[in-house]
Amino acid sequence: MSDNRLFEYKENFIRAAIEKGVLSHKGPFKLKSGRKSPYFFNSGNFADGESSAAVGDAYAAAVLEHIGAEKFDVLLGPPYKGIPLAVMMARSLYRLGVNKRFAFYRKEEKTHGEGTEESRDARKKRLIVGDLRDGDRVVIPDDVITTGGAKYDAIEVMENVVEGAKHVAVVIAMNRQEIDEFGSNAIEELERKTGMRVVSALMASDYFDFLDKSGELNTSDREAFRRYFRAWGTQELRDQYELKDGDIILRDRTVIPACDVRTIEKFERLVEATAQVDEIGGYKIGFSLGLRYGLPRLVEIAKKHAPDKAIIYDHQKAGTDIPDTGEDFARLCAEAGVDAVILFPQSGPVTQVRWVGEALQHGLKVIVGGEMTHKGYKASEGGRINDAEIDNMYLLAAKQGVRHFVVPGNKPQRIRHFRNILEGAGVENPIFYAPGFIDQGGKISEAGEAAGERWHAIVGRAIVDAEDMAGAAIEMTRQITVDEKFAIHQ
């Protein structure tokens, strides 16, 4: 098509959507998923002739641009939002010189009149309104895709009432470019399972770019979008804006004291004694200190003596509750001023995706673990955690863009295993944090060989119980930085 309307539809659609209150970036808006989005899309606000024309034009232009008029015969609208969309889209296509049939189906089968006839096409008469024929190439218009359920329903209805029909594409108003609650891209899953294209009149990135270029976003708004995209965006969206997992510790190899001490006074002495040791990368605060004294107070003390060191909170084991509690956990940690949190998401993928996403959206770095150091943890060793699911904890985190991982420092062969599967999943230079030394038998040299260039030894009693904590810290850092091949860089 040469009509200019075909190439202007996104901007026209965005302007119409903003004017009608369909699109707004004056968030945050709480979605059905529980996520808090900086923007909201509500197609129900397209409710007059002017806006319906903009919707139809956008859908029509999108399908012509991405599919082509010669590739489909009919529009099949799923109830209920897909019904007016099919009509609006057919009208706009006609205005562009393309005349296509449309149809829709009932959620409830017709039980009176022609629908009661016992004939070859009785089921079609009970379900279909409009013109759907055998052998049709079908495009399905709908408003959004979350799980893709309505689209699967439309395909099932189509296959049950006509012969030889083929589903070519789904056209939706807006692709939010988000992962679903299991960490999957619902649109990619729908395309993979059905073999049909998903065409979007608008992408989340289109809306963001429009707002940004038109000067509608202030610095805070822009950061809210970027954090949201980082937390919940598909890999394609994260790559588009280079939203990668940043460093927690700039040095390649450091020692992190596990601050499992009983008093705040000893915690302060520990930080003060070790703050000037360059190869101390940060401090891991556990729940014992956190619950007794409060995270904000502990962070304040640590930052007073070691302002450039990372503060990592390990709730031992965070990420094992229901999905909804992840928001409060992330908010409290962010308000306390910690830099990163450790999660062991043993409650399953939905909890994991939510907790990781909430932490990222609140500006925290995330370190994910799956395997612990003690005996009787894995099912293969008499424990309760399925061995394969341990791998899946790491792999799902990698899918969400995480590249910081806890691995058992006393099991170098397992460190090597996790390094292999993560690199195989596309994680470049995964960064490991390894506990389990000294008392649990781990050797720093062996763990370092397995971990690769970037890793951090988490050491507890060997430092915190030493009479000379500074001297003990220096001794431990010598062990991790001795190999010139892994020279520390500033």
Active site residues: 110, 112
Cα separation, 220 vs 64, in Å, equals 37
Q: Which residues contact 120 (CB under 8 A, 6 or more apart)?
A: none
Cβ-based neighbour number of residue 288 at 10 Å: 13
Determine contact, residues 453/467, Cβ cutoff 8 Å.
Answer: no
Cα separation, 198 vs 177, in Å, equals 12
The dihedrals phi and psi of 155, each to the nearest 5 degrees, come to -65, -45
Whether the bond between 94 and the residue before it is cis, its omega within 30 degrees of 0, is no
What's the number of CA atoms in the CB half-sphere (13 Å) around residue 354? 25
Cα separation, 195 vs 79, in Å, equals 22
Enter the tokens of residue 50.
């002017």
Block residue for tokens 């909804």? 324
